Structure 1
Amino acid sequence: MTVSTEVLARTAPLYERVRSVIPAIEWPAFADDIDAILRLKRERDAVILAHNYQTPEIFHCVADFVGDSLALARHARSVQAGTIVLAGVVFMAETAKILAPEKTVLIPDVQAGCSLAESITAADVRLLRQSHPGVPIIAYVNTSAAVKAEVDICCTSGNAKSVVESLGAPRVIMLPDEYLARNVAAETNVEVLSWAGHCEVHELFTAAEVRQLREDYPGVVVLAHPECPPDVVAAADFTGSTAAMSGYVEMHSPPRVVLLTECSMSDNVAVEHPSIDFIRPCNLCPHMKRITLSNIRAALERNQHIVEVETSVAERARLAVERMLAL
């Protein structure tokens, strides 16, 4: 791909930011799209919200706000721009539209789904209410707008325990991530009933893999996401959301660390901590990887893949999300 010297010069400062994780030979393949996206954002009064699982050329070079699901929800509610491009998956774009109904929300690829969101429907939630009358229902943000509209409150991996205990109930239902629910249940006296949904990325990690990592890399610090199976969480040195894992690295600066989560998370944290040795036995999220610079550019150029949420659904879902954000 031929890229003009002018584009390479304009994007050179951005490459300096990510040179530790993107080889120089790959940069020309990104530079033209990055340059165009930066221009289009100004022309379209647009901002890009990027999840921690986005690749470094998106996360560090074109995103205006980055973070985990909780952070992105808060940014969606507060940004001033008229257009939001959600560099993440569909449920995140729906959440942004729920919290900012007056804004145009674009998703670069409508096929960017989530195994957790696809594991449960609104009808399933209604049946759970019938089976467990009076029991509060918590939906992980990794759910559709239709599911959020049927529950009492939402949570993220970073605030799940706080949400459970905020309800003041002896028993709650947490859906759809079984492992997150079980891991939270181990930290609270509240009885947590779970659903049999799993993240296709985090469910692949095993306790045996953790043991092997410790043998192969003596002294390695193991950080696990709470969507991992409970035996993986038990074998780790620290468990937390993507934001919490990043915070741990920032605070403790372990010489060698492994993040048991989606691959790009390690790359994005490594950019900020070049002296730390990041071991990467990570798993790719095929849905997150559907978001690319080229389809972000196309979304801005064509104003395409506009996210809409039916008003009656959005109003009820907003209550559940706002209750979470108010904690």
Structure 2
Amino acid sequence: MPVTAAAAEPAGDLTPYGGVEADSAWRDEVRRLAGERDAVLLAHNYQLPEIQDIADHTGDSLALSRIAAESDASTIVFCGVHFMAETAKILSPHKTVLIPDARAGCSLADSIDAAQLRAWKAEHPGAVVVSYVNTTAEVKAETDICCTSSNAVDVVASIPADREVLFLPDQFLGAHVKRETGRDNLHVWAGECHVHAGINGPELAARAAADPDADLFVHPECGCATSALYLAGEGVVPADQVKILSTGDMVTEARSTRARTVLVATEVGMLHQLRRAAPEVDFRAVNDRASCRYMKMITPAALLRSLREGADEVHVDPAVAERARGAVRRMIEIGKPGSGE
């Protein structure tokens, strides 16, 4: 496994824009400005509740990018992190794409860059490169096919068995794919999301023991995903109560679960959408400190600034975007990419 920098908390001055209350006057102003800019407002599932509630569409990053591409709006305001806005620009090159705060990055996307990927490819000539959608445009441009957490297994299974596969950047999703496919020639990059990596196995086991009737919704980026399957395999938790799910699939599963309580292992912003989908169910975070500082940078003040000033516009080099677009389109043809990450 290649050596890469360990995921860490965001550094530097990342003080969010503040001083604006999400009241009725703010909502009216946001909607008025969105109309003037011919803008569609998109919010990722991990955003602040008030940002999710004002958006035209809320969901995972790929589903939102596809909505953006199909929208008649000339401007896309993407309330998420930077790679998500880039993906929207890749799929909608002729539209204006704004992110309310361009400093909103991603520790997982930052765990590999294009130069590192080119070096890794040189060590494995002929290998097929599969990149999680949580990557930069430059990395996507070096990729054969992208994947989401929903279709990662299907994407890898579609590759001839005798071809080596380089899977990046998330080591926990990669371990899940390797486990599901049984593939020995799949190499996994040592990247991680610092928030999901912090949701650990002992924490999950303790919460499950305290509420043995609860379903477990576990994102495959989590450090506890393997532990969840171990608990099921050992009979500590009934296997049918353990669900390894993308954020989009969590919402779908929430609408059909018969559990009265669900323990959720992902970023805490997800609880807002789950509670909206199934208000009768008690959704609880496995780790209530699992909050992404980057995601929470898209504040009411940041959104208002973006609509007033046209900030911050996202640009992707056309040649990079064209190469990246091919990898994203190949992903869309396989499995169920609508439930992105």
Q: Normalising by structure 2, report the TM-score.
A: 0.84
Structure 1 distance, partners of 2:153, 2:213, is 29
The one-letter code sitting in structure 2 at the alignment partner of 1:232 is S
Q: Give aligned pairs, total.
A: 300
Percentage identity across aligned positions? 45
> Could you say which residue in structure 1 is the equivalent of 2:39?
46
Paired residues of 1:136 and 1:172 also in contact (CA < 8 A): yes
Deviations 1:93-119 (A, max 9, x none): 000001100000001111100011111
The one-letter code sitting in structure 2 at the alignment partner of 1:194 is V
The one-letter code sitting in structure 2 at the alignment partner of 1:213 is R
Structure 2 distance, partners of 1:233, 1:119, is 25
Pick from 43, 48, 64: which aligns with 1:55? 48
Structure 1 distance, partners of 2:161, 2:313, is 39
- Which residues of 2 match residues 149-160 of structure 1 at below 5 A? 149-160=141-152
Structure 2 distance, partners of 1:297, 1:232, is 42
Structure 1 distance, partners of 2:190, 2:117, is 13
The alpha-carbon deviation at position 279 of structure 1 amounts to 1.6
Pick from 47, 63, 84: which aligns with 2:76? 84
Per mean C-alpha deviation after superposition, the further-off stretch among 232-241 and 199-208 is: 232-241
> Could you say which residue in structure 2 is the equivalent of 1:305?
312
Structure 1 distance, partners of 2:308, 2:228, is 43
> Could you say which residue in structure 2 is the equivalent of 1:22?
none
Look up the SS of the partner of 1:187 in the other structure: helix
Structure 2 distance, partners of 1:112, 1:322, is 25
Look up the SS of the partner of 1:262 in the other structure: coil
**Higher percent of residues as helix:** 1
The alpha-carbon deviation at position 74 of structure 1 amounts to 1.5
Structure 2 distance, partners of 1:77, 1:166, is 26
Pick from 286, 306, 321: which aligns with 2:328? 321
Computed over aligned residues only, the root mean square deviation of the Cα atoms, in angstroms, reads 1.6
Q: 5+ unaligned residues in a row in structure 1: which ranges?
A: 1-26
Structure 1 distance, partners of 2:169, 2:59, is 22
The alpha-carbon deviation at position 304 of structure 1 amounts to 1.3
Pick from 158, 169, 172: which aligns with 1:176? 169
The alpha-carbon deviation at position 31 of structure 1 amounts to 2.8
Structure 2 distance, partners of 1:248, 1:259, is 12
Q: Which has the higher contact order (CA 8 A, sep 6+)?
A: 2
The alpha-carbon deviation at position 169 of structure 1 amounts to 3.8
Q: Normalising by structure 1, report the TM-score.
A: 0.88
- Which residues of 2 match residues 185-204 of structure 1 at below 5 A? 185-191=178-184, 192-204=186-198
Q: 5+ unaligned residues in a row in structure 2: which ranges?
A: 1-19, 233-241, 335-341
Pick from 197, 200, 203: which aligns with 1:206? 200
Paired residues of 2:98 and 2:314 also in contact (CA < 8 A): yes
Structure 1 distance, partners of 2:158, 2:72, is 31
